[in-house]
Structure 1
Amino acid sequence: MRFLEQAGMAALRRMDAETAHGLALRAANTGLARLPGTITSPRLRVKLAGLDLPNPVGLAAGMDKNAEALRPLSRAGFGFLELGATTPRPQPGNPRPRLFRLIEDRAVINRMGFNNAGMEAMAARLATRPHGMVTGLNLGANKDSPDYATDFEAVLARCGPDLDFATINVSSPNTERLRDLQGKAALAALLGRVLDARAGLARPIPVFLKIAPDLSDGDIADIAEVAGDAGIDAIIATNTTLAREGLTGPNAAQAGGLSGAPLFERSTAVLARLHDECGGRIPLIGVGGIGSGEQAYDKIRAGATAVQLYTALVYGGLSLVERVVRDLDALLERDGFLTVAEAVGVGR
């Protein structure tokens, strides 16, 4: 099956990246691939913001924007899934081409622009999602919205009843003015409004905050302070970067957010700094460049309670999830940790 997966991926890489992505989601729904189902062990089980995860390896937002492949993704070995981003109204996003592989760098640049089918379509699919998989949603804002906070509130109110968590996304580089919301005053106002909206749900859910890697130490300190004061349940570090240092692929000059292997060091440094600033008060989710169990372990040792991956699947296939989870379990056992929690923040 691994050979067939690699052959299929080789064929997909000969196509436009966005076309290949859509075909990969449809292929996952055929049910032909061998999927391991839930992977867990006593070491791997994690409690994150009140959520019980079978393992700490989750799917990052962006892969399944419209909940089109929930069933196969729920059986792929992940400990949790994050869907979206979802905006109130359907949105076409930026003009194509807008998704670019950097094969030599094992990276991707995207300037998708929150293309998605909107919150009504997402809510309908969430209502029939498989039970037993912790599932969250990345909250997005329509590009032409005069008030992004209102959009976040609307998506949370509409989709919240069928979610286990929601993520406030203030860190995508592809929506104008969005990253401005990471400023101290703007962020405090935004978080207050979204958390007020959360209180209106019949079943209030944890709310996470996703931040950019392109932040100064002062910015990180401010975010930690504001998030702590607001009562945010976890922080996801980090989204894609605008930096381009050290790239070799021919698409390196494309505009948009860079994800994948080149982001690992920077995103992990931000995570470690954030762990220092939070002092254990807010759990952290490490994202950016994870492509192996060892890199997932590095994120945990830098301060992450859980991790997410996406871009590495472009190069390693969906079977990578099982390898990352099982290798992480082996590394925890090797170093004498009885649980993931024991390894959080112990140093790289």
Structure 2
Amino acid sequence: MYPLLFDLVLRRLDSERAHHLGAAVIRAFGASVPGALARAATRPDPSLAVDALGLRFPSPFGVAAGFDKQGSMILGLGNLGFGHIEVGTVTAIPQPGNDRPRLFRLIPDRALINRMGFNNDGAEAVAERLRRVRARRRRPIIGVNIGKSRVVAVEDAVDDYRTSTRILAPLADYLVVNVSSPNTPGLRGLQDREQLEPLLRAVLAEAGSVPVLVKIAPDLDDQAIEDVASLAAELGLAGVIATNTTIGRDGLRTPRSAVERAGAGGLSGAPLAERSLEVLRLLARVADPSLVLVAVGGVETSADVRARLDAGAHLVQGYTAFLYRGPLWARQINRGLRSH
């Protein structure tokens, strides 16, 4: 049913408009009656439960940051069978993001290019939504992904992240420091140890007992990845998320002219699978065993999730394939994991 809807309707719509329509449907599953029906059909089998970050995840498979930027779909996504939902990226200061169009499908590659630019309502507004969700008796595990406000200079990034942490950490089950999006000027430079260490120390001090992870780019070289893993263990971070989107464009099936029309931005989806798995395997070899490894990038099937778990991931996330697989994607993944 969904593939037909995608081919006949959704692929003909502007990508961002299609996402907003899908978000409205997902929010409807957060209501009591539709939510109960969805849970009955999609609830992960108890055998899939995973302990990580001091939490009990009903499934190792969750939604990556970027899908629910505003924290408005948490309950609906949880009712569709995802083991956790990572909200964001959220910035301390509200911002509209980059000019449209800024989200592009590469359908032959089952991929996306985005240069959204951390469009969000700001930490205070998202925090209010999180308070309402946390007041519910039944809610999924919630991660919150924070990034640098665009209007804040890189040299002032520490205080900016500290502000977001102070507002959002008390409402998060875990917190993620995003220094790896390609769509905020200067952000990826914060992955360098000299800049990353004081930033992470500040976030850790502000977060208190809330687990803190860092999200890295697939475009880092292997030595830089090892350096981040070493720093994470040294500072006492809870884990590393690998990986964010890539600025690379190699090996795409989509015609070059269409890729060039889409322009700059981060590439996600199937083309990222190989590199993200390489990064995960490297982290599994060199990272301190205390670090929780979260795999994301090119994940589409239960076999993809299983491959990442076998490669050392404790948790796995997806986003892009949701657009191509539809609302029963998490159920498909969880059923496939159970049958393995």
TM-score in terms of structure 2 length: 0.91
SS in 1 for 2:113: strand
Equivalent residue, structure 2, for 1:43: 47
- 2:232 corresponds, among 215, 227, 233, to 227
* Residues 1:167 and 2:176 are matched in the alignment: yes
How many pairs does the alignment contain?
324
- 2:186 corresponds, among 177, 191, 196, to 177
The answer to whether the Cα contact below 8 Å between 1:39 and 1:55 also exists between their aligned partners in 2 is no
Equivalent residue, structure 1, for 2:80: 76
Q: Percent identity?
A: 42
Equivalent residue, structure 2, for 1:241: 246
Equivalent residue, structure 1, for 2:197: 188
Shift of 1:42: 4.8
Shift of 1:64: 0.8
Give structure 1 stretches of 5+ with no counterpart: 332-348
Equivalent residue, structure 1, for 2:118: 114
Residues 30 and 39 (structure 1), Cα distance of their counterparts in 2 relative to 1, 3 Å cut: closer
Equivalent residue, structure 2, for 1:58: 62
Distance in 1 (CA, whole Å) between partners of 2:109 and 2:250 is 11
Which has the larger displacement, 9-18 or 23-32? 23-32
SS in 1 for 2:150: coil
Alignment of 1:1-348 (within 5 A): 3=1, 5-10=2-7, 11-31=9-29, 35-36=38-39, 39-129=43-133, 130=136, 131-146=138-153, 147-199=156-208, 204-250=209-255, 251-253=258-260, 254-331=263-340
SS in 2 for 1:74: helix
CA deviation digits over 1:151-206, x for unaligned, max 9?
A: 2211111122221111000110111111111112211111111101112xxxx211
Structure 1 counterpart of 2:113, one-letter code: I
Shift of 1:279: 4.3
Shift of 1:35: 2.3
Distance in 2 (CA, whole Å) between partners of 1:171 and 1:228 is 19
Which has the larger displacement, 229-238 or 242-251? 242-251
Distance in 2 (CA, whole Å) between partners of 1:27 and 1:75 is 12
Shift of 1:39: 3.0
Distance in 2 (CA, whole Å) between partners of 1:106 and 1:85 is 23
Distance in 2 (CA, whole Å) between partners of 1:14 and 1:330 is 35
Distance in 2 (CA, whole Å) between partners of 1:318 and 1:155 is 31
The answer to whether the Cα contact below 8 Å between 1:39 and 1:79 also exists between their aligned partners in 2 is no
The answer to whether the Cα contact below 8 Å between 2:107 and 2:254 also exists between their aligned partners in 1 is yes
Distance in 2 (CA, whole Å) between partners of 1:298 and 1:289 is 12
Distance in 1 (CA, whole Å) between partners of 2:287 and 2:201 is 19
TM-score in terms of structure 1 length: 0.89
Give structure 2 stretches of 5+ with no counterpart: none
Higher helix share: 2
Query: Aligned Cα RMSD in Å?
Result: 1.5
Distance in 2 (CA, whole Å) between partners of 1:275 and 1:30 is 39
SS in 2 for 1:127: helix
Equivalent residue, structure 2, for 1:337: none
Distance in 1 (CA, whole Å) between partners of 2:304 and 2:243 is 15
Shift of 1:256: 0.5
The answer to whether the Cα contact below 8 Å between 1:59 and 1:310 also exists between their aligned partners in 2 is yes
The answer to whether the Cα contact below 8 Å between 2:43 and 2:79 also exists between their aligned partners in 1 is no
CA deviation digits over 1:280-300, x for unaligned, max 9?
A: 231100000000000001111
Distance in 2 (CA, whole Å) between partners of 1:135 and 1:274 is 24
